[in-house]
A and B are shown apart, each in its own frame.
Chain A
């Protein structure tokens, strides 16, 4: 396939749009068969990297299936991403992508929007197929106080 930065950026932005819509099948369709997902934050208090989600593809699929059985904050999120860096490795047919992420939460009751979290996507994108797909996603959060939390991965 011929890959340009634009198609990689579109993948990143698509991943935000489908998750904003809680379209979990749509999200998984953007991921490679051996996809991994990790979400972490660094604690300066105890000087440790904290892994709050760490899943392979089958585990994250199960997580998505199970979430509707739980009691959750249903206020929707808006993921605002800006792709900062794309480094394409032609030999391995993959790309490393750094994306700045801001996540807003809008209240179902009244519609007030507030900034919920900031961080980065550190992605590895596979370029082996017809379309680029996510091979590894590492959400590295700067925000650590997420109030009562949230069930849907960022």
Chain B
């Protein structure tokens, strides 16, 4: 039965944790608050250490809190992160996304910094500043950095944050044997700029009911009684993280791409493990490839997705080529599944805007925490609500106003 306006905007007859006010996906004020209360506070996966293997290698990183960072491996092999901004006149220091530089030199006035962030040269410093200012006064702003969980480089722009392990807790324990069996190596990095909200992307990674979207997943798992698909279980962890149990994917059922039996150390054959980390990171290990998603929200309805695919550092060229081929089947910009995921998440961004009069969004499936249960999204938004001081189903209640839509 179709609905009239009153019925359309009515709250669902479900617990408030089981539906979402769509305003959290497009409200500008809420987005600004997310930057302040979430992205400026939590640990974020920035790069993998294999992207800067040598002394003096660097990578730039656009942090979701809005800071431009440069991540550098020092001559002591330690990885440090700094604001990518010259303390003199506020110019970018590193313009290119990667490089190798013993000294980070600002092109503007040639101020130079070493890989520990110390200023080591101010041209004609004494003449201009006399004794009023010297190199010691103008070092780079360092950002908390840790390398962990498979060699990933994590950053936190809050100087007073707790250690990374406090944030992750036990969420990655389930995948640690696979992450730490041997050194990893990034072989793909690419971005996708989309018009949608970052939480909608994370929602898609946090629920598998949408496997109806994927012909590949239906035919290789959902429709296979012995695959263990419907037995996969969610496990929720503190701080908004969740993992999904493994299954046995029957890749041979899919014609048109193929997937090898190459596998991954410690992962059961044809296995598939997934961990979603709050607020915008997913570890997705499928048979022979580890895919990492991380997002850089640039507005309430715009984000840059960063995709990485990783293999093992010990891969021969032949094995690496096979891993790439496996990844390409479903996960490249031409891959069967990723394109479908991004179409759907972008469609949500198009359909749900401040002016489109969207309804409450349902997160209400309960199936004993198995694969089509929507507990992953609910658990995520519980943490979101805690950090924001707003209910995801009634975000304006704090201010005493009605639902936005």
Interface residues, chain A, with chain B CB atoms under 8 Å away: 39, 41, 43-48, 50-54, 59, 62-67, 69-73, 144-151, 153
Task: Tell me if B8 counts as interface (CB < 8 A to partner A).
Answer: no
- Which residues of the partner chain B approach A52 to less than 8 Å between Cβ atoms? 328, 332-335
The 27 listed contacts between A and B (C-beta, < 8 Å) are: A43-B190, A44-B98, A45-B97, A48-B189, A50-B189, A50-B190, A50-B332, A53-B334, A54-B325, A62-B256, A64-B256, A65-B256, A70-B215, A70-B216, A70-B336, A70-B340, A144-B191, A147-B193, A147-B342, A148-B192, A148-B194, A148-B343, A148-B346, A149-B335, A149-B338, A149-B339, A151-B334
Across the interface, name the chain B residue whose C-beta is closest to A154.
Answer: B334
When distances are taken between beta carbons in the complex, the residues of chain A under 8 Å from B188 are 43, 46, 48, 50
Q: Across the interface, which residues of B come within 8 angstroms of A144, CB to CB?
A: 190-191
Task: Select which of A44, A45, A48, A73 is within 8 A of B339 by beta carbon.
Answer: A73
CA distance A53 to B257 in the complex (A): 9
Q: In this complex, what residue of A is CB-closest to B188?
A: A50
Task: For the complex, give the distance between the alpha carbons of A150 and B192 in Å.
Answer: 12
Closest-CB distance, A18 to chain B (whole angstroms): 18
Of B257, B324, B332, B339, the residue contacting A63 (CB under 8 A) is B257
Across chains A and B, which 10 residue pairs bring their CB atoms closest together, nearest first? Answer: A66-B256, A148-B342, A52-B332, A149-B339, A149-B333, A62-B256, A146-B333, A46-B189, A45-B97, A69-B215
Docked Cα-Cα span, A137 to B317, in Å, equals 21
Q: How far is the CB of B276 from chain A (nearest CB, A)?
A: 20
Assembled-state Cα–Cα distance A47/B336 (Å): 25
| B342–A71 touching, CB < 8 Å | no
With known contacts A44-B97, A54-B324, A148–B339 Cβ distance under 8 A: yes
Residues of A within 8 A of B189 (CB): 43, 45-46, 48, 50
Highest count of chain A CB atoms <10 Å: which of B186, B321, B343, B344: B343
Q: Could you tell me the dominant secondary structure of chain B's interface residues?
A: mixed
Contact A41 B190 (CB under 8 A): yes
Answer yes or no: B255 CB below 8 A from chain A CBs: yes
Chain B neighbourhood of A70, CB < 8 A: 215-216, 336, 339-340
List 6 additional contacts besides A43-B190, A59-B258, A73-B339; criterion CB under 8 Å.
A45-B51, A53-B328, A54-B321, A145-B193, A149-B339, A153-B334
Docked-complex contact A45 and B324, CB < 8 angstroms: no
Q: Hey, which bits of chain B sit against chain A, CB under 8 A?
A: 50-51, 59, 96-98, 186-194, 213, 215-216, 254-258, 321, 324-325, 328, 332-336, 338-340, 342-344, 346
Interface centre among A41, A53, A153 (most CB of B within 10 A): A53
Is the Cβ of A53 less than 8 Å from the Cβ of B256? Answer: no
The residues of B that contact A59 with a CB separation of less than 8 Å are 256-258
Closest A residue to B59 using CB positions: A45
A73, B336: Cα distance in complex, Å: 11
Assess the B339–A150 pair: CB atoms within 8 A: yes
Please name all residues of chain B whose beta carbon is closer than 8 Å to the beta carbon of A146 when the two chains form the complex: 192, 333
Q: How far, in whole Å, are A38 and B177 apart by their CA atoms in the complex?
A: 34
A47, B187: Cβ atoms under 8 Å?
Answer: no
CA distance A44 to B58 in the complex (A): 12
Residues on A with C-beta less than 8 A from B96 are 44
Measured CA separation A73–B344 after assembly (Å) = 10
| B190 A145 Cβ-Cβ under 8 A | yes
Q: Which residues of B contact A149 (CB under 8 A)?
A: 192, 332-335, 338-339, 342
Contact A147 B255 (CB under 8 A): no
Residues of B with C-beta under 8 A to A147: 192-194, 342, 346
Q: How far is the CA of A46 from the CA of B338 in the complex (A)?
A: 21
Instruction: Report Cα–Cα, A73/B347, bound state, in Å.
Output: 11
Q: With A148-B342, A149-B192 in contact, do A54 and B333 touch (Cβ < 8 Å)?
A: no
Q: How far is the CA of A91 from the CA of B377 in the complex (A)?
A: 63
A138→B269 CA distance, assembly (Å): 32
With known contacts A73-B343, A150-B333, A51–B192 Cβ distance under 8 A = no
Are B321's CB and A51's CB within 8 A? Answer: yes
